[in-house]
Amino acid sequence: MDTRFTRRVNLSLKILLEIKDDEEQQIALVGGNKLEADVFDISVSGIGLGIRHFIPKGLMVSMEIDGTPFEINEVMRVKGEICYCNYVQASLYKCGIRFIEMPEQYVTAVIDFVSKYERREDSRIELAE
């Protein structure tokens, strides 16, 4: 079953992902709390990543995303929540992150980017009004 509510586009980009270091999120990665991830798609509601480590659902993360593809001349700093992290193959997990804190300028830029490159006409799910 597909649960996507917003349009998304494929994107090939590397980002920096940081796991918040606080007492509520007791997790430790071998290489520290920052890791590089490969983006495979993006929407206004979230981002899909390929990562080398399992990250549990519900974990809060910070992301640094190059703003250039979105016509923003700065690194976009965004917070999100892990929605899923599924094993794909050795040292590769597919991870979905829901944006939870994103400045309006970034929201508009992602909407414009998705509108320009979106691969289908309509969202997969119609929301009731």
* Residue spans per domain, the chain: 8-117
- pLDDT band at residue 125, thresholds of 50, 70 and 90? very low
Does the pLDDT value for residue 86 go beyond 60?
A: yes
95: which strand partners?
A: 49, 85
- State what percent of residues in the chain have pLDDT above 70: 78
8-117: what fold?
Answer: Thrombin, subunit H (2.40.10)
Between 16-20, 43-47, 101-105, the lowest mean confidence (pLDDT) is in 16-20
Lowest-confidence region among 30-34, 54-58, 81-85: 30-34
pLDDT of residue 19: 85
Q: How confident is the model at residue 25 (pLDDT cuts 50, 70, 90)?
A: low
